[in-house]
Amino acid sequence: MTKRPLLAAAFTCAACGGFTGFAAAQSDAAQPQQAFTGNIGLASEYRYRGIAQTDGKPALQGGFDYAHTSGLYLGTWASNVSWLSDAGGGISNSLEWDLYGGFKRSAGDFAYEAGLLYYAYPGRYPPGFNSPDSLELYLAGSWKTLTLKYSHALTDLFGFVDSKGAGYLDLAGSFDLGGGIALLAHVGHQRIPAGAVGGLRVRSASDCSYTDWKLGVSTQAVGLNWALAYVDTDARGGAGQCYRNAFGRDLGKAALVLSVGKTF
């Protein structure tokens, strides 16, 4: 389970709406017991759960995965980001670095998966700043190319104060259109619970919760994986709301995202 971009998920369809590089365990004894893979990509913009992470600018991304036929997998993935440093105030972060591991098994057209994902945002932060580093537990079930997944925050999520227990429910799929083209579809809902500091409420349950959706296509050409997707949300990005940055940009506003990459 990784936050790699849309195109990588499309071509490693073990969890087609999720973000996993794990390949389902094979019973054939001729198959290798373990596998190492890597991926690198360039996206016109980095969107995660529909929210802009690079203020509309390109993102260079890549990672490595290890998978064992027992079902165990481990991996790491990284991307440039700007959503924290865009806020100013002495924040110097420019990198997201993810570490994840889990277990997945399949039986025919069905598969199930469970794991942990840690999001790290190394850098300098002012005193008293709530850490954006986050840990999620995720559970997923798949049928053919459809996947339903739930992610549960075991810490405050992405710096939201008093947001432990936040949850994200995600339904996604990949559908063969023929001619080497796949249709990609996704809908998800991010729940950020009401929060308080010192008994004083700082956020209601509806302030920062939102739904996102995505529709795109993917293909292979000149030895590379390509994807183009329309991404949108109903996240609140007005003045003073959760998803508006210091430059006045609505981070959940609709966008077309083009990605190109390579898995090796």
In a domain, 1, yes or no: no
Quickly list DSSP for 7-44: HHHHHSGGGTTS---PPPP---TTS-SEEEEEEEEEES
Residue the block writes with tokens 């992405």: 158
Query: Is 182 within a domain?
Result: yes
Does the residue 195 lie in any domain? Answer: yes
Q: How many domains does the chain have?
A: 1
Q: Kindly report the number of other CB atoms within 10 A of residue 28's CB atom.
A: 6
Give pLDDT, residue 9.
Answer: 46
d(CA 68, CA 46): 30
> What pLDDT was estimated at residue 29?
53
What are residue 115's phi and psi, to 5 degrees?
A: -175, 180
| Separation CA 122–CA 120 (nearest Å) | 6
Residue 80 inside a domain? The answer is yes
Q: What is the pLDDT along the chain (264 residues), one digit of tens a residue?
A: 445 544 444 443 333 333 344 344 444 556 789 999 999 999 999 999 999 999 999 999 999 999 999 999 999 999 999 999 998 889 999 999 999 999 999 999 999 999 999 999 999 999 999 999 999 999 999 999 999 999 999 999 999 999 999 999 999 999 999 999 999 999 999 999 999 999 999 999 999 999 999 999 999 999 999 999 999 999 999 999 999 999 999 999 999 999 999 999
Supply the pLDDT for residue 89: 84
Could you tell me if residue 208 is inside a domain?
yes
> What is the per-residue pLDDT for 58?
98
The predicted model scores a pTM of 0.89
**DSSP structure class, residue 130:** P
Residue 31 confidence (pLDDT): 73
Confidence (pLDDT) at 3: 57
Collapsed DSSP state (helix, strand, coil) of residue 199: coil
Considering the domain boundaries, does residue 93 fall inside one?
Answer: yes
Helix (H, G, I), strand (E, B) or coil at 247: coil
pLDDT value for 11? 40
Q: What is the pLDDT of residue 88?
A: 80
* Residue 133 forms part of a structural domain: yes
DSSP 136: E
The CATH number linked to 146 is 2.40.160.40
Query: Residue 241's domain spans which residues?
Result: 6-263
Is residue 229 assigned to a domain? yes
